[in-house]
A and B are shown apart, each in its own frame.
Chain A
Amino acid sequence: MELIVASAVGVLTAGGVYLVLRLRSFPVILGLALLSYAVNVFLFASGRLAINMPPVLQKYGEASYTDPLPQALVLTAIVISFGMTAVLVMIALGAFFEAETDEINMDDPAPAGDEDRA
């Protein structure tokens, strides 16, 4: 199970990073969405994985629970990342309307010159 979660985080991160490095604003937003999934799952996993142990106290009998703290942190992180995505979308829209293009880089640097620098 751990391997599954870790690989999912890894793949989401890789996909997110690749999209974030694209040249248009929409893929960058998609990439950031993927990255926020990855980060949220990553944070969640820091509480270690557990099956059938939700942190909801049982009235009767002994029960063991998974770590609730990362869940609380991730819960707000999910909502906040929505807010962040929304702001980004708005900025991207504004930039598109003003500049009539959704390229994120300024014209000066030639895209070809980019590879050797990085």
Chain B
Amino acid sequence: MTDSSNFLVIIALLPFLGALLPGVMIRAGRTACAWFTAFPTALALLLLLVLAPAVMRGETIHAEIEWLPQLGLTASFMLDGLSLLFAGMILGIGLLITLYARFYLSGNDPMGVFFTYLLLFQGAMLGIVLSDNILLLLIFWELTSLSSFLLIGFWSHLPEGRQGARMALAVTGAGGLAMIGGMLILGDIAGSYKISEILQAGDAIRASDWYIPALILILLGAFTKSAQFPFHFWLPHAMAAPTPVSAYLHSATMVKAGVFLMARMWPALAGTDAWFYIVATTGLVTMVIGALIALFKDDLKALLAFSTVSHLGLLTMLLGIGTPFAAVVAVFHIINHLTFKAALFMTAGIIDHETGTRDINRLGGLRRLMPVTFVIGTIAALSMAGIPLFNGFLSKEMMLDAAHDTTWAGNPLIVAVLATVGALLSVAYSLRFIWHVFFGPVRDDYPSKPHDPPFGMWAGPAFLATLVVVIGIVPAAIVGPLVAVAGGAVIGDAEMPYYSLKIWHGVNAALFMSIIAVVGGLVFLALHGGLNRIWNALPRPEAKAIFDWIVAQVAALSRRVTEASHNGSISRYLAILIVASVALGAVAFGGSGLATPSREMLPVSLPVLAGWLMLIVATGSIVVMHHHRFRALVLIGIIGLMISFGFVFLSAPDLALTQISVETVTIMLLLLALHFMPKSTPRESSGLLKLRDGVIAIAAGGGVGALAYAFMLRDVDTISGYHLENSYTGGGGTNVVNVILVDFRGYDTYGEIIVLGIAGFVIYALMDTLLNGPAARRLRNTDYAQNRSRDRHPLMMVVATRVMMPIAVMVGVYIFLRGHNQPGGGFVAGLVISIALLMQYMASGFAWTQNRQRVEYHALIGIGALVAGLTGAAAWLYNSPFLTSLYGYVELPPIEEFGIGTAFLFDLGVFMTVLGAVMLMLYSLSRIARYAGEPINVDPMDYDPKQAIVDEKGEV
């Protein structure tokens, strides 16, 4: 990758990396915390400026890191004019907001947390505008929803904060879900998830049958994010956030994401009737409604919130009109709206901060008390009103021009008239902001004594207000190139329309519309008192109430569904699961018919038939007499044994060894468990229930059996040829099964021993919790001593197990050593040695054996996993992938040649983990016995003949 590409990736990562800093730096003080928030932002901005000249020359910078190429998901970024504009806004305003928030937040607010959220949000926004892959964009899109949730709900002690955050998350999250669907359809039509390729495929997309569904789903995402009618209601409620958040989210970032998306997708989606009627109409309606509500809001932030809704509607309408001219105007207005709206939000925050209220009715006369704030606020508000010499005027004129040329359903006037109405209302609420806050008499009942804030707090808005004026006077020199390159990126391959960024366009329709708007706005302001009374008397739907009602209904519905389906009957869930599996299997089975069998059946010999018969009879008997639990265990043992024989017969000696040793420990485990549980199962199933379960069981068994039968008679392509060929030459062993376990599929085995180890720890932890709870008391009070043999540790057994111990260990070691070449290996060896140890437990009792244990089983599991892991990691030293094996041979003459290599060490790890896990499981169960009042035996056996002889002598 080139330097520019690297820079691009770094820009995208910086906010996320930077998010680690504020939480730590807050310990060094609030100022340090703010500095370290500003640092990554400033660095990213600097890198962006380094890349800017190339983009301004018309280049597009790409960077790509492969991530999941199979899914078309690559971490690919691009920087074109539009991305540059947005990234600059996000980072630039981010810096100003950091400065502002440093002074705005009080000492009680956790500033480190705030700045962490802010940087996370900044990173998510930056990701959206820099993504060159729609899947990646979707991820960042969801991240903005999540991080804005944290920011909006930052004052989580306020109910409005929590509710506003939830509402924002619900609305934008739902829209995001719809958008995922739309984007996937879009990617499918275009044949690529890369934005740059999708934009090239505009004609194919618009011609596709799936265009309308994709368009609607994507627009749902954009409209919810950008608070378009009827999803506009979340934005005012999000005003419960601290003002720096509102200023950031609702001027430069969050709500502009939807606008950005429409601009980004403009070459691919725009230009159709559907686009025009959905987007332009929604934008127009939102613009008028937002402006109308804003006029009657008394809360400064609510007024600004609805004016933001209105201006977002304006932008949406411009993009929806679909002409290149309107799109370029939209880009210009994005810049202008950013400057005046961020300044206004910060001004509102200053007023709130200094006077203690945001209620317009309690303000007025601040002109004299807060002169600096007054100048900044007035400039920004006049720009919002669209008064000449300020930048808002320029884009408003161009907007009116575009609206004037637009025909809606054959009617040439309707868009122009509504746009003028919107502009008129905009003038009215902007002037009201100035008039009712700053003018009028000085009052003496402000909640606190107003004065201008410290420099740090007004520096940001002052900078923006300067921009408002400078752009307003010499637009072409300041933002002309940026508008050209960003507008060019929006309209794609379309020809650049003629437009000029200047104050005086001559006497034209837009000028008259503008004059009407200003005059009308003044009239509205003059009549505001009366209009306000009428407005308040009119009935109107309360969005929050409707939203809450919908949420309550959905919650009630899901509770009903959950309670109906999840009623605490495990048997029922299992039955549903099994029936569904059988039904799906039957559908799949009956689908396309079967190929003709290609394999001959193998012959059956008499012993096999006998074993089969025993297995069938044993299974049937368990079903019939499972009420007698001990008997059922014996039968389980028979089944396991028969299966082991089957493995021997069918060329699977390793499996046979494993099965028979697992069988032994399983039976011991179940016997131990049964010691504490009822010895029989009550007969409580009704006949009908048995019949139902029988039918399900036979269907399931029949299905599985038929499936097995069907595939066993047909050949299959297998990858095992590779394993057979390379087992000796590549893995150094002749037992292919073992080589697969420790070499070819060593990583799987590594995972499996870890799972086994975790299972051991889980059991230990469960037992420990149990023995510290009420169950322990119950255990102590339970009398398990009935029917117990008086000779619990018989002499014969003790002696026999002692004799067998070394033999069993030797067999275990032998099986382990030969495992690579002959049937055996770490798994089986671990199990065999566990059995040898378990026999000691059984013969001499738990306590006696426990006293002689030297190594903790927990440690054994850990060491085993560590040995296996380190063996694998050692391959890194040789620049090979994890678990690449090395091997050589050692000849031990009396036994046989065995390989010594890394696989051997790995198998040792497997062995230790298996041994540790199995022993820990059974040990945990045995420990319960101690609580149940099991007497502690200090002697290895109950009746020691040697002792008896001593006693006799003593007596004599």
Binding site for B on A (CB under 8 A): 1-27, 29-30, 33-34, 37-38, 40-42, 44-59, 65-69, 71-72, 74-76, 78-87, 89-94, 96-98, 100, 102, 104-109, 111-112, 114-115, 117-118
Query: Is there an interface contact between B778 and A100, defined as CB atoms closer than 8 Å?
Result: yes
B606-647 interface with A by 8 A CB criterion: 608-609, 612, 615-616, 619-620, 622-623, 626, 629, 632, 636, 639-640, 643, 646-647
Chain B residues in 8 Å Cβ range of A93: 673, 676-677, 770, 925, 928
Q: How far is the CA of A85 from the CA of B760 in the complex (A)?
A: 11
Which residues of chain A are near B646, meaning CB under 8 Å?
5, 8, 41
CB 8 Å contact bits of B707-746 with A (1 = contact, 0 = none): 0110111011011100110011000001111001100010
Residues from chain A with a CB closer than 8 A to the CB of B713 are 2
CA distance A11 to B685 in the complex (A): 21
* Cα of A100 to Cα of B567 in the assembled complex, Å: 21
Chain A residues with CB under 8 Å of B13's CB are none
User: Which of B651, B654, B706 has the most chain A CB within a 10 Å cutoff?
Assistant: B651
The stretch of B26-34, B495-503, B819-827 in contact with A is B819-827
B410-431 contact mask (Cβ, 8 Å, vs A): 1 or 0: 0000000000000000000000
Interface of A is mostly: helix
The answer, yes or no, to whether B604 is at the interface (CB within 8 Å) is yes
**Does the CB pair B673–A92 fall under 8 Å?**
yes
Q: Are A80 and B571 in contact (CB under 8 A)?
A: no
A83→B755 contact, CB < 8 A: yes
Chain B residues, Cβ within 8 Å of A65: 651, 724, 736
- Neighbour of B712 across the interface among A5, A37, A66, A106, CB < 8 A: A5
Is the CB–CB distance between A26 and B677 below 8 Å? Answer: yes
Contact yes or no, A47 B686, CB < 8 A: no
Residues of A within 8 A of B700 (CB): 13-14, 17
Say if the beta carbon of B213 comes within 8 Å of chain A: no
Min C-beta distance of A19 to chain B, whole Å: 6
A34 touches B741 (CB 8 A): no
| A10-B639 CB under 8 A given contacts A56-B736, A76-B827 | no
A89 engages B706 (CB within 8 Å): no
24 A-B interface contacts by CB (under 8 A): A14-B702, A17-B700, A17-B701, A19-B626, A25-B677, A27-B632, A34-B636, A41-B646, A45-B712, A48-B712, A55-B651, A65-B736, A66-B650, A71-B737, A75-B655, A78-B662, A82-B666, A83-B917, A87-B762, A93-B676, A97-B778, A108-B568, A109-B567, A118-B579
From B688, which residue of chain A is reached at the shortest CB distance?
A: A115
Residues of B with C-beta under 8 A to A82: 662, 665-666, 669, 918
Within the complex, the shortest CB–CB distance from A86 to chain B, in Å, comes to 4
Taken together as a complex, chains A and B put the C-alpha atoms of A83 and B578 apart, in Å, by: 23
CA distance A12 to B617 in the complex (A): 11
Is B954 part of the contact surface with A, judged by Cβ < 8 Å? no
- Is there an interface contact between B569 and A53, defined as CB atoms closer than 8 Å? no
Residues of A within 8 Å of B766, CB to CB, are: 87, 90-91, 94
Of the listed stretches B319-327, B526-534, B691-699, B837-845, name the one at the interface; the rest are far from the partner chain.
B691-699
Instruction: A5-B712, A34-B636, A118-B572 given; name 5 further pairs at CB < 8 Å.
Output: A9-B705, A11-B619, A18-B694, A51-B651, A94-B766
Assuming the contacts A10-B704, A71-B652, asked whether A87 and B763 have C-beta atoms less than 8 A apart, the reply is yes
Taking chain B's interface residues, is the majority helix, strand, or loop, or is none over half, making it mixed?
helix
B600 (CB) vs chain A CBs: closest residue? A2
Report the minimal beta-carbon distance from A20 to chain B, rounded to whole angstroms: 6
Q: Pick the contact of B705: A6, A26, A80 (CB < 8 A).
A: A6
Cβ-neighbour of B658 out of A50, A79, A102 (below 8 A): A79
| A85 CA to B711 CA, complexed, in Å | 29
Query: Does the CB pair A47–B697 fall under 8 Å?
Result: no
Evaluate contact between B568 and A13: CB separation under 8 angstroms: no
Top 4 closest A-B pairs, CB basis?
Answer: A10-B705, A14-B701, A106-B568, A97-B775
Assess whether B692 is in contact with A69, with CB atoms less than 8 Å apart: no
Residues of B within 8 A of A80 (CB): 752, 755-756, 759
Residues of A with C-beta under 8 A to B682? 24
Nearest residue (CB) in A for B779 is: A97
* Per-position 1/0 for B810-837, Cβ under 8 A of A: 0000000000011100010001000000
B53 lies within 8 A of chain A by Cβ: no
Contact mask B275-296 → A, CB, 8 Å, 1/0? 0000000000000000000000
CA distance A18 to B698 in the complex (A): 8
- The chain B residues found within 8 Å of chain A, CB to CB, are 567-572, 574-576, 578-579, 599, 601-604, 608-609, 612, 615-616, 619-620, 622-623, 626, 629, 632, 636, 639-640, 643, 646-647, 649-655, 658-659, 662, 665-666, 669-670, 673-674, 676-678, 681-682, 684-686, 688-689, 692-694, 696-698, 700-702, 704-706, 708-709, 711-713, 715-716, 718-720, 723-724, 727-728, 734-737, 740-741, 745, 748-749, 752, 755-756, 759-760, 762-763, 766-767, 769-770, 773-775, 778-779, 821-823, 827, 831, 914, 917-918, 921, 924-925, 928
Complex Cα–Cα for A97 and B775 (A): 5
Closest residue on chain A to residue B621 by CB atoms: A15
A98 to B676, CA, bound (A): 13
Chain B neighbourhood of A27, CB < 8 A: 626, 632, 681
Tell me the bound Cα distance from A108 to B563 in angstroms.
11
**Is the Cβ of A19 less than 8 Å from the Cβ of B763?**
no
A74 touches B749 (CB 8 A): no
Given contacts A6-B706, A90-B925, A94-B766, are A118 and B576 in contact (CB under 8 A)?
yes
With A and B bound together, what is the CA distance between A42 and B708 in angstroms?
Answer: 6
Smallest CB gap from A21: residue in B: B693
Assess whether A79 is in contact with B677, with CB atoms less than 8 Å apart.
no
Q: Which residues of B contact A4 (CB under 8 A)?
A: 604, 608-609, 612
Q: Which residue of B lies closest to A12 (CB)?
A: B619
Contacts of B763 in A (CB 8 A): 86-87, 90
A26 touches B708 (CB 8 A): no
Tell me, in angstroms, the Cα distance from A72 to B659 when the chains sit together. Answer: 13
Q: In the bound complex, do residue A83 and residue B639 qualify as a contact, i.e. CB atoms below 8 Å apart?
A: no
Least distance between B674 CB and chain A CB atoms (Å): 7
* B689 close to A111 (CB less than 8 A): yes
Complex CA–CA separation, A14 to B767 (angstroms): 32
Complex Cα–Cα for A45 and B646 (A):
11
Given contacts A17-B696, A105-B568, contact A23 B685 (CB under 8 A): yes
Residue of B nearest to A91 (CB): B766
Residues of B within 8 A of A16 (CB): 697
What's the nearest-Cβ distance from chain A to residue B631, in Å?
Answer: 11
Are B778 and A83 in contact (CB-based, < 8 A)? no
Q: Report B-chain residues with C-beta under 8 Å of the C-beta of A81.
A: 662
Verify A94–B775 contact, CB threshold 8 A: yes
Complex Cα–Cα for A96 and B622 (A): 22
- Tell me whether A8 and B701 are in contact (CB under 8 A): no
Please, how many angstroms separate the alpha-carbon atoms of A95 and B706 in the complex? 37
Query: What B residues does A47 contact at CB under 8 A?
Result: 718, 720
CB distance from A22 to the nearest CB of B (A): 7
Within the complex, the shortest CB–CB distance from B757 to chain A, in Å, comes to 9
Complex Cα gap A12–B643 (Å): 11
Q: Are A13 and B701 in contact (CB under 8 A)?
A: yes
Contacts of B918 in A (CB 8 A): 82
Query: From residue B747, how far is it (CB to closest CB) to chain A in Å?
Result: 12
Cβ of B905 to closest chain A Cβ, rounded Å: 19
CA distance A16 to B576 in the complex (A): 15
Q: Quick check: A30 and B632 within 8 Å, CB to CB? A: yes
Residues of A within 8 A of B570 (CB): 104-105
A6→B684 contact, CB < 8 A: no
Contact A3 B601, beta carbon cutoff 8 Å: yes
CB-nearest residue of chain A to B712: A2
Contacts of B655 in A (CB 8 A): 44, 71, 74-75, 78
Query: When the two chains form their complex, are residues A115 and B740 in contact, meaning their CB atoms are under 8 A apart?
Result: no
Return chain A residues, CB-CB under 8 Å to B649: 51
Q: Which of B700, B708, B748 has the most CB of A within 10 A?
A: B708
Return chain B residues, CB-CB under 8 Å to A23.
571, 684-685
**Which residues on A sit within 8 Å (CB–CB) of B684?**
23, 111
Which residues in A have their C-beta under 8 angstroms from that of B914? 79
A17 & B639 in contact (Cβ 8 Å cutoff): no
Give complex CA distance A71, B650 in Å: 11
